């Protein structure tokens, strides 16, 4: 079930949204839903990345782990047919 909510936008934003919606072949409402979803997904990804950074700050990699990661990366690059 959808809940309808009104959002107020100025004329310039409406014109830009309508032009983009026409170009993408979607309704203005769909375009706005997609944009909001994308915005919130990016926000969630940024929060997840921040948690990873905080985790590594609390428990950094050991020198051995860094060496192993470097060796693995080198092996992957060497497998490429450049």
* DSSP assignment of 35-79: HHHHHHHHHHHHHHHHHHHHHHHHSPPPHHHHHHHHHHHHHHHHH
What pLDDT score does 26 carry?
98
What pLDDT score does 5 carry?
85
Q: Is the pLDDT of residue 2 over 80?
A: no
Tell me the C-alpha distance between 4 and 17, whole Å.
19
How many independent structural domains does the chain possess? 1
What pLDDT score does 13 carry?
97
What pLDDT score does 8 carry?
94
pTM exceeding 0.85 = no
Give residue 41's domain range: 11-79
Q: Is the pLDDT of residue 4 over 90?
A: no
The predicted model gives 41-61 an average pLDDT of: 93
Position 23 in a domain:
yes
Position 5 in a domain:
no
């Amino acid at each position: 079930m959808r809940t309808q909510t009104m959002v107020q936008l100025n004329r310039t934003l409406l014109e830009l949204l309508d032009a983009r919606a026409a170009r993408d072949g979607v309704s203005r409402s769909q375009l706005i839903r997609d944009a909001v979803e994308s915005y919130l997904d990016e926000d969630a990804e940024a929060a997840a990345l921040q948690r990873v950074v905080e985790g590594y700050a609390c428990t950094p990699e050991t020198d051995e782990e860094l060496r192993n990661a470097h060796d693995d990366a080198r092996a992957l690059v060497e497998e490429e047919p450049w």
